[in-house]
């Protein structure tokens, strides 16, 4: 297992276009998280899946954002009608099981630039 | 969701110096994690502390959890350039769900 994989690593898009990012978690990890991070700041929570169920969505996740994890494995994050303010690093993480105090393993992120 | 404040926000020191960074919350932590993030990479877990007053050591890094479980500190002895990065504290159980909520971060630069 090579860890959490995110694609693409970099995305440049024009304002108003739609973009979709993919996250492949570590095999058999039940939990999957999406975060957004701007330069020099800590990651901000966007949404969280337990298997295929989306359990929580942040207020940061406007109606232009949608995330899916259809089979409880990989996940996609789509941003519609992108705005310059969407420019950020989008991080995906996964963690195993149902217990607390477990480590979240992060991917290398997708850096989005909206021009 | 509680707010995790970290201080200082930025820290630039010479190689060999010691430093301490802090993580504070308005509420009690169920447990607390420290991560380090290097540029272009995702955060990597350093340690998890669970019990009030707990102290954990990882080579030159010493992590302490406050007695009241509302604060934590990370002390680095004899800092090296390889310690450069963004240090993040996080709680892994927020709002009734097992999700990781991060602090504001401390950006550390160690100058050779």
- Write out the DSSP string of B10-26: EEEEETT--EEEEEEES
Which residues of A lie inside 8 Å of B (Cβ-Cβ)?
A: 4, 31, 33, 35, 40-45, 48, 55-56, 91, 93, 95, 98, 100-109
Is B6 in CB contact (< 8 Å) with chain A?
yes
Contact B33 A103 (CB under 8 A): yes
Ramachandran angles phi, psi of A84, nearest 5°? -60, -30
For position B93, what pLDDT does the model report? Answer: 66
pLDDT of residue A53: 92
Residue B97's pLDDT is: 58
Share of chain B above pLDDT 90, in %: 69
Only one residue has tokens 């707010």, namely B3
Task: Report residue B111 as tokens.
Answer: 């100058």
Q: Choose, out of B23, B45, B99, the residue to mutate when testing the contact with A (most A CBs < 10 Å).
A: B99
Calculate mean pLDDT across residues B82-109. 84
Beta strands in chain B (DSSP E): 4-7, 10-14, 19-25, 32-37, 44-49, 55-58, 61-65, 71-76, 85-91, 101-102, 106-111
Could you tell me which residue, B63 or B49, shows the higher pLDDT?
B63
Rounded to a whole number of angstroms, the distance from the CA of A64 to the nearest CA of chain B is 23
For residue B94, pLDDT over 60 is answered with no
**Mean pLDDT rounded to a whole number for chain A:** 91
Residue of A nearest to B86 (CA): A40
CA B2 to CA B29: how far, in whole Å?
Answer: 9
Determine the straight-line distance between the first and last CA of chain B, rounded to whole angstroms. Answer: 39
Query: What integer pLDDT is reported at residue B1 of this predicted model?
Result: 53
Long-range (24+ apart) CB contacts under 8 A made by A48-54 are: A48/B97, A48/B99, A49/A75
Rounded to whole angstroms, the Cα distance separating B63 from A79 reads 38
Distance (Å, whole) CA B60 – CA A77? 38
- The reported pLDDT for the residue numbered A62 is 87
Whole-angstrom distance, CA of residue B81 vs CA of residue A71: 43
Q: Are strands B10-14 and B106-111 parallel, antiparallel or unpaired?
A: parallel
Tens of pLDDT, residue by residue over A82-113, are 999 999 999 999 988 666 657 788 999 999 99
- Mean pLDDT (chain B) is 90
* CA A86 to chain centroid: 13
- Give the model's pLDDT for residue A41: 87
Nearest-Cα distance to chain B for A114, in Å, is: 18
pLDDT (average), residues A10-17: 97
Decide: A34 and A92 in contact? Cβ < 8 Å: yes
The two three-digit tokens of residue A27, written as one number: 């095999």
| Whether the predicted pLDDT of A63 surpasses 80 | yes
CA-closest candidate to residue B24, choices B54, B57, B69: B69
């Amino acid at each position: 297992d090579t860890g959490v994989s995110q694609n693409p690593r970099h995305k440049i898009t024009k304002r108003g276009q739609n973009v979709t990012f993919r996250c492949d978690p570590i095999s058999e990890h039940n939990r999957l998280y999406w975060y957004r991070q701007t330069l020099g700041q800590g990651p901000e929570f966007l949404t969280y899946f337990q298997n295929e169920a989306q359990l929580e969505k942040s207020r940061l996740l406007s109606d232009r954002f949608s995330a899916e994890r259809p089979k409880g494995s990989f996940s996609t994050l789509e941003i519609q009608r992108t705005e310059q303010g969407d420019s950020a690093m989008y991080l995906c993480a996964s963690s195993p099981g149902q217990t607390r105090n477990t480590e979240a393993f992060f991917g290398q992120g997708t850096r989005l630039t909206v021009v | 969701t509680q707010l995790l404040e970290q201080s200082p926000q930025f820290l630039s020191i010479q190689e060999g110096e010691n430093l301490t960074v802090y993580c504070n919350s308005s509420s009690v932590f169920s447990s607390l994690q420290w991560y380090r993030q290097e540029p272009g990479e995702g955060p990597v877990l350093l340690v998890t502390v669970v019990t009030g007053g707990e102290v954990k050591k990882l080579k030159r890094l010493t992590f302490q959890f406050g007695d009241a479980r509302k604060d934590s500190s990370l002390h680095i002895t004899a800092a090296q350039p390889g310690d450069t990065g963004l240090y993040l504290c996080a709680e892994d159980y927020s709002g009734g769900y097992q999700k990781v909520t991060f602090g504001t971060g401390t950006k550390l630069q160690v100058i050779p």
